[in-house]
Amino acid sequence: MKNRALTVGGAVLSLLLLAGVFYRVRPAVFWAALKETDPVALGSCVFFFGVSCLARAVMWRVTTRPLQPVGFSTLCGGIIVGYLANNLLPARAGEVVRAYYLARRTGIPGPAAFATVCVERVLDAASLGLLVAAALLVGVRGLRPETARLTLLILCGALTVGAAAFAGLLRLSERAVGTPVFPAPVRDALASFTGPLRPLGRPRTLALLVTLSLLAWGANYLSLLALVPDAAASRPQAALLLLLFINLGLLVPSSPGAFGVMQLAFWAALAPFGLPKEVALALSLAYQGSLYLFTLALGLPYYARAHISLGKIAAEATAQQKEDPTPGEAATTAVAKAPRSLFRER
């Protein structure tokens, strides 16, 4: 029921946003802008998006190295499959699918696989904060200083909470060793999850991960820079503002593919640079369509090779809930048993 409500709520939000952004759009101007989209610009956009995927795969290799050696092709496949799942499933479910894919392909325990994804998301928040600070210093047109400062404050708070959570889990894992208070499955799950977190205490490893994260964001910026037309007043600033608005908008739970949210981000980011609403909306749909085709073409073969079945994941979760009649047992299972059963090799 919760998942269904989340899906329906996201779909309703997307429909409302689409209705709002397409209100009073001139159809003739919109279709003309869509037809005039430069295919070379779209190709460059997809190319740099692929470069960002490679940078993220290298980052993932660094976080999985303490667990076991993982082939670069497997890591690239996991990145693409995650983006594919985000385009097809609600609530950014691609992050969970990525962890499941890695565990299925390599045998890495589920909690450890999910921890590597969490590390990347925290680094993304740090990189996003640096980009917001850079945009604030440059004085990007269309970015309100008070809004940028509030965004930075929220991101710093989220990073502080994330760092405190990681540190708390590491201490809890150390205390749980040999402690009879914690059941063995809970100790195993904690040890598995905190395994990829320990290298973050090494300054060299942390600096490498931050650099790779910034490279991935830089490739995403070049992807949008190639897409922004020459008619924009300042293409570099427009691309930077668009990058910020898109990624901040993706934090909003909406329908698969972030329809509505993406259109609003393009419109809000490109309007200060003199581009009409119709042109911004045409670019947003061309951008989404090209990335859909890219992730489908590359992600489906990897998806099929991994034999991932989301239906089986849901069925196992339901079966485990039936096996645990009491709330205490259900909570223990959710922490300890579920990750291993959902991510084990079949």
In the 3-class helix/strand/coil scheme, how is 159-177 assigned residue by residue?
Answer: HHHHHHHHHHHHHHHHHHC
Token code pair at residue 126: 């740090």
Residue 318 has pLDDT above 50, yes or no: no
Segment 290-314 shows an average pLDDT of 77
CA–CA separation, 5 vs 3, rounded Å? 5
The SS3 of residue 108 is coil
The model's pTM: 0.83
92: left (phi over 0), alpha (psi -120 to 50) or beta: left
CA–CA separation, 210 vs 320, rounded Å? 38
Segment 2-17 shows an average pLDDT of 73
Name the nearest CA neighbour of 236 among 212, 216, 218, 213.
Answer: 218
Going by pLDDT thresholds of 50, 70 and 90, the confidence category of residue 181 is: low
pLDDT of residue 171: 85
Average pLDDT, the chain: 82
CA distances from 317 to 85, 244, 313, 333 (A): 19, 36, 6, 10
Going by pLDDT thresholds of 50, 70 and 90, the confidence category of residue 71 is: very high
pLDDT of residue 308: 64
Cβ atoms of 250 and 59 within 8 Å: the answer is no
Half-sphere exposure for 280 (CA within 13 Å, toward CB):
26
Going by pLDDT thresholds of 50, 70 and 90, the confidence category of residue 1 is: low
Q: What pLDDT digit, counting tens, does each position of 142-155 carry?
A: 888 998 999 899 99
Going by pLDDT thresholds of 50, 70 and 90, the confidence category of residue 305 is: confident
Residue 200 has pLDDT above 60, yes or no: yes
pLDDT of residue 96: 87
Least confident residue range of 44-53, 78-87, 255-264, 321-330: 321-330
Name the nearest CA neighbour of 94 among 105, 75, 106, 79.
Answer: 79
Residue 26 burial (CB count, 10 A): 12
Question: Cα torsion at 114, 120, 121, 125 (round to 10°)?
Answer: 160
Q: What pLDDT digit, counting tens, does each position of 240-277 carry?
A: 999 999 988 887 766 677 888 899 999 999 999 999 99
More confident residue, 340 or 145: 145
CA–CA separation, 335 vs 188, rounded Å? 10
Q: What pLDDT digit, counting tens, does each position of 217-242 carry?
A: 999 999 999 999 988 888 999 999 99
CA–CA separation, 148 vs 210, rounded Å? 21
Cβ atoms of 95 and 117 within 8 Å: the answer is yes
CA–CA separation, 126 vs 124, rounded Å? 5
CA–CA separation, 266 vs 262, rounded Å? 6
Going by pLDDT thresholds of 50, 70 and 90, the confidence category of residue 39 is: very high
Least confident residue range of 58-67, 179-188, 297-306, 307-316: 307-316
Q: What pLDDT digit, counting tens, does each position of 101-134 carry?
A: 999 889 899 889 999 999 998 899 888 999 999 9
Q: What are phi and psi of 148, to 5 degrees?
A: -65, -40
Measure CA of the first residue to CA of the last residue in the chain; give whole Å: 28
Label residue 204 exposed, middle or buried (CB < 10 Å: 0-12, 13-18, 19+): exposed
pLDDT of residue 310: 53
344: left (phi over 0), alpha (psi -120 to 50) or beta: beta
Segment 53-78 shows an average pLDDT of 92
